[in-house]
Amino acid sequence: QYPNWSREDILNYTEPKQGYTKESPGFQRFVSVLCELNADERKAFVQFVTGCSSLPPGGLANLHPRLSVARKNETETSYPSVNTCYHYLKLPEYSSEEILRDRLLTATREKQFHFN
């Protein structure tokens, strides 16, 4: 089963942290990129941040702990990293959606970005 979410789901059930707020440009770019992912990319993202291949019944609303997105103080050449146990994504503040999308999708395909 492929995960599905809306912009409202992401805004309501994702917690920005450590330098990000719901209004932060970097967090807003993240939300836009997640909304544009195709079904396979969404599944890869969920696997990357949770360690599971699907969301629980009810989607992001029933993901516990909630998905957290923390600002990672790194350069644009850095990649996102995660702590899957806590659904904790560490995301550099990229200057564009294109860069964010590229780095995020690369990270979802590679396994060495956990726990960085």
37-52 pLDDT, tens per residue?
999 999 999 999 999 9
Q: Which residue has the tokens 């294109």?
A: 98
pLDDT of residue 73 exceeding 60, the answer is yes
Amino acid at 55: L
Which residues are designated catalytic? Answer: 85
Residue 33 lies in a domain: yes
**Predicted model pTM:** 0.91
Q: What is the CATH number of the domain that holds 16?
A: 3.30.2410.10
Residue 88, domain member (yes or no): yes
Q: What is the pLDDT of residues 1-24, one digit of tens each?
A: 789 999 999 999 999 999 999 999
- Tell how far CA 95 is from the center of its chain: 16
Q: Is the pLDDT of residue 115 over 80?
A: no
Q: Which two tokens stand for residue 4?
A: 């599905």
Q: Regarding beta strands 88-91 and 81-83, do their DSSP bridges make them parallel or antiparallel, or are they unpaired?
A: antiparallel
52 within a domain of the structure (yes/no): yes
Write out the residue range of the structural domain in which residue 33 sits: 7-109
Let me know if residue 116 belongs to a domain: no
Concatenated DSSP letters of 45-65: HHHHHHSSSSPPTTGGGG-SS
Per the structure, how many domains does the chain have? 1
